[in-house]
């Protein structure tokens, strides 16, 4: 028996999101229905609403979530009703080329539900990042459910499902930040502050937070930034050089994803340094760089999808560090909101004052 629940969709490019009724089918083989307890509002949801990801409207938004497994389909062996899980957008398939090469963090097999979630009139919904979690219950692949310590606060550990994990992983997994490194993070939202947390865990000694909003910079300091730069009143490249003994940073993380921030990151690196792009550009953005500088500065230009994470490895580990008080996931949650307040949360991404708004069910 399918169920009808409340969810938030983006019906058309740029149009305000709306709360509507979503039909959730019973789980098919290898699938699960999860009752969502909390879901963070990530900038990527806004990209979806604005048509910046693709045109597969209507989208069922939300993808940074924790909840309780309600039912499982056939052939699901390691998940049971009642399990507390963080949802992930990478159900590692084990059979694609990346998995067979031993690099499952590049597995990009997305889940195509046997029977998709729809609107009441039968219109098929595209779940954001293959999840769709601004909804009371959602249908996912069982491999998208990672069990974590049920004592953890859903609003906090749900953020491991996207932004915070993407940031931590961009620093540690993609950027390879290690003890004694200098790192600069451009854009200190949920993702950028995740990168700062990752750099702290890895033992970086100089952690430079860069944003255009002083409030964000204050929060970045609380997460472990040793220096802050307001990009509105400073030359970012010169400031990073000055704070790193004239060298530039070993690793720069661009957690904004615009041509101008990418260029700043490119030149703010030390020679042979690493630039990691984790912010998501939009389709019309392009970049021009002197090829001689690309050659002459050496190093690595990398992109980070989901922080090159492995949910089965990383979610329980980070939940444990949170439980021990070694990473402060609660500090990412600025406000808890209702399902009908997501549009307002998008506005606050531009007006500031909020690191993460988290929808509580
Ligand atoms: N690669 C991935 O796997 C992944 C995962 C999640 C999110 N993202 C992307 O990461 C980006 C950040 O997401 P978020 O949720 O942290 O967003 P956010 O809106 O919470 O934070 C963005 C921050 O960048 C700052 N900023 C904007 N323009 C700036 C500039 N020119 N210089 C310095 N700072 C600037 C803003 O003040 C804000 O603090 C988005 O593009 C999002 O789509 C990528
Ligand atoms: Zn996200």
Per-residue model confidence as pLDDT tens digits over 238-285: 999 999 999 999 999 999 999 999 999 999 999 999 999 999 999 899
* Cα–Cα nearest to 38, from 134, 127, 152, 132: 134
| pLDDT at residue 224, as a whole number | 98
* Cα–Cα nearest to 191, from 41, 336, 87, 51: 41
| pLDDT at residue 38, as a whole number | 98
Measured in Å, residue 159 CA sits from the centre of ligand 2 at 9
Q: Which helix (H) or strand (E) holds 235?
A: none
Measured in Å, residue 98 CA sits from the centre of ligand 1 at 28
Beginning with the edge strand found earlier in the chain, give each strand of the sheet holding 300-303 in spatial order.
227-230, 206-211, 182-186, 249-254, 269-277, 300-303
pLDDT tens for residues 287-301? 999 999 999 999 999
Residue 108 pLDDT grade (very low, low, confident, very high; cuts 50, 70, 90): confident
| pLDDT at residue 29, as a whole number | 95
Within 6 A (CB) of ligand 1 lie 42-44, 47, 162-163, 166, 186-192, 210-213, 216, 231, 255-257, 261, 278-280, 304-306, 349
Give the three-state DSSP class for 208: strand
| pLDDT at residue 299, as a whole number | 97
Backbone angles phi, psi at 65, to 5 degrees: -135, 155
User: Ramachandran region of residue 296, left (φ > 0), alpha (ψ -120 to 50) or beta?
Assistant: alpha
Residue nearest ligand 1's atom 11 by CA: 279
Residues with CB under 5 A from ligand 2 (ion): 42, 44, 162
Backbone angles phi, psi at 103, to 5 degrees: -125, 65
Q: Name which of 29-33, 103-107, 311-315 the model is least confident about.
A: 103-107
Give the three-state DSSP class for 264: helix
The answer, yes or no, to whether residue 113 has pLDDT greater than 80, is no
The answer, yes or no, to whether residue 91 has pLDDT greater than 90, is no
Of the bound ligands, which one is closest to the alpha carbon of residue 307? 1
pLDDT tens for residues 319-342? 999 999 999 999 999 999 999 999
- Cis ω for the linkage preceding 341 (within 30 of 0): no
Of the bound ligands, which one is closest to the alpha carbon of residue 48? 1
Mutate to test the pocket of ligand 1, among 187, 252, 265, 347 (most ligand atoms within 8 A of CB): 187
| pLDDT at residue 90, as a whole number | 80
Enumerate residues 6+ apart whose C-beta is below 8 A from 322: 152, 156, 157, 328, 329
């Amino acid at each position: 028996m399918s169920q009808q629940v409340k969810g938030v969709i983006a019906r058309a490019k740029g149009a305000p999101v709306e709360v509507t009724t979503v039909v959730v089918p019973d789980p098919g083989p290898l699938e699960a229905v999860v009752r969502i307890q909390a879901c963070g509002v990530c900038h990527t949801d806004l990209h979806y609403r604005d048509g910046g990801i693709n045109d597969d409207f209507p989208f069922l938004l939300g993808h940074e979530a924790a909840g309780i497994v309600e039912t499982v389909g056939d052939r699901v062996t390691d998940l049971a009703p009642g399990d507390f899980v963080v949802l992930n957008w990478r159900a590692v398939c084990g059979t694609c080329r990346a998995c067979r090469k031993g690099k499952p963090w590049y597995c990009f097999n997305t889940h195509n539900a046997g029977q998709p979630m729809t609107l009441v009139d039968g219109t098929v919904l595209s779940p954001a990042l293959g999840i769709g979690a601004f909804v009371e219950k959602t249908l996912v692949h069982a491999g998208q459910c990672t069990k974590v310590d049920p004592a953890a606060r859903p609003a906090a550990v749900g953020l491991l499902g996207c932004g915070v994990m993407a940031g931590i992983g961009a620093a540690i997994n993609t950027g390879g930040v290690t003890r004694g490194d200098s790192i600069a993070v451009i854009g200190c939202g949920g993702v950028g502050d995740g990168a700062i947390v990752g750099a702290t865990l890895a033992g970086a000694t100089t952690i430079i937070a860069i944003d255009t909003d002083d409030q964000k910079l204050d929060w970045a300091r609380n997460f472990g930034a040793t220096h802050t730069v307001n990009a509105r009143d400073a030359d970012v490249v010169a400031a990073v050089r000055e704070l790193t003994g004239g060298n530039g940073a070993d690793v720069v993380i661009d957690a904004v994803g615009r041509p101008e921030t990418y260029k700043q990151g490119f030149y703010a690196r030390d020679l042979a340094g690493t630039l990691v792009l984790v912010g998501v550009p939009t389709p019309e953005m392009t970049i021009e760089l002197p090829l001689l500088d690309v050659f002459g500065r050496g190093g690595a230009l990398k992109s980070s999808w989901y922080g090159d994470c492995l949910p089965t490895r990383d979610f329980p580990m980070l939940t444990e560090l949170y439980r021990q008080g070694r990473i402060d996931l609660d500090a990412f949650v600025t406000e808890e909101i209702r399902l009908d307040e997501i549009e307002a949360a998008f506005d606050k991404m531009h007006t500031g004052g909020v690191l993460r708004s988290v929808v509580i069910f």
